[in-house]
Chain A
Amino acid sequence: MINLIYYLFFALTLGSALMVVFLRHAVYSALSLVVTMVSIAGIFILINAQLAAFFQILVYAGAIMVLFLFVIMLLNLRHSPPMPGVTRSIRRAGAVLLGVLLIQLLILGVRSGATSMIAEQAKAATTASGKAPEGATITEVALILLTDYLYAFEMTSVLLLVAVIGAMVLARRSISGERNPNLEDSQFIRKLPGA
């Protein structure tokens, strides 16, 4: 039963990730990314990582994707004419080549590197205790964030402050249009009725 649900989420994640890439319209791309994130949250629940699942839904699928959708709808994107055929086919062939090579490389790395060691370690712990490791609890995560990783934790709050100030400074003038003469020609003004 668990396996069946797992395969369902696996397929849903991969399918919606491919749709993110291949759908032309930005809104549909963003909505498929929401599906990807929610199904990854489902996988987190299946592997008993509830904290990660809740953060995934609250912050990723909730906050970040809403920000994306707001900006996509604010920009009112149109389809521009595609670039010349040869350049585009060269670029797309390169993208396919790199994607395939990257899959090969990552599989090779995971098979030979520390990952297989971790898998063996987990298997040994499972056979020693008779059941699979429970995984990290929210108490352990909170404890390690506020002891070992305290400086990194405080740095992330500084990072968020910098990001908030940076985003406000960057986006402010282009919308209010006070000191930007180019804005007379842009869509924001043209769309206003009677302006």
Chain B
Amino acid sequence: MEPMLFNGNMLLAILLFSIGAFGFLWKQDAIGMFLCIELMLNASNLAFVSFAQALGRPEGVAAFIFILTVAAAEAGVGLALFIKVFSEKDTIETDTMSMLHD
């Protein structure tokens, strides 16, 4: 891989991760926050694969596959939880989920 592309990928991963963290705080609904978590996972995937390609070693791609699996499992369980919360509260705004707080 060209060194120029490696630096560009690092910058892109940094920006994507920051946008994801920023959006996680910005969003009010649980699904939007979840989408931002996926954004952060994608940024780390990009960094891992860039390292693997820059060094010509397969470990980074293996880490990519593990992250992919964890993201899939997380999406399945998380979305099932949202369906559950929605059937109880009729909304998934995170500010309404204050049962432990009250």
Contact = CB atoms under 8 A, between A and B. Distances in A.
User: Which residue of B3, B39, B42, B62 has the most chain A CB atoms within 10 A of its CB atom?
Assistant: B62
A115 B55 CA distance: 11
B8 A6 contact: yes
B29 A26 contact: yes
Contacts of A72: 31
Given A14-B15, A64-B38, A156 B29 contact: no
A71 B79 contact: yes
Given A29-B35, A47-B53, 7 more contacts: A21-B27, A21-B36, A30-B35, A107-B14, A133-B53, A156-B69, A163-B76
Interface string A147-185: 001001000100110111011101100110000101101
B83 interface: yes
Given A20-B39, A60-B42, A186-B87, A145 B62 contact: yes
21 contacts: A21-B23, A26-B31, A49-B52, A55-B65, A64-B72, A64-B75, A75-B92, A95-B25, A98-B25, A102-B17, A103-B18, A121-B55, A133-B56, A144-B59, A156-B69, A159-B69, A170-B80, A170-B81, A174-B88, A175-B83, A187-B90
B61 A92 contact: no
Contacts of B91: 77-78, 80
A183 B87 contact: yes
Contacts of A170: 77, 80-81, 83-84
A8 interface: no
Q: Which 10 residue pairs across A and B have the least CB separation, nearest first?
A: A99-B22, A133-B56, A163-B73, A21-B23, A95-B25, A136-B58, A135-B53, A170-B80, A174-B87, A140-B58
B93 A80 contact: yes
B68 to A, nearest CB: 5
Interface string B64-102: 111011111111110111111011101111010000000
A110 B1 contact: no
Interface residues of B, number: 78
* Interface size grouping (class) on chain A: 35 or more
A51 B84 CA distance: 36
Interface string A12-40: 01100110110000100110010011001
A99 B22 CA distance: 5
Given A20-B36, A119-B6, A110 B21 contact: no
A149 B16 contact: no
B61 A99 contact: no
B55 A122 contact: yes
Given A99-B18, A136-B58, A10 B12 contact: yes
A194 interface: no
A49 B72 contact: no
B66 A156 contact: yes
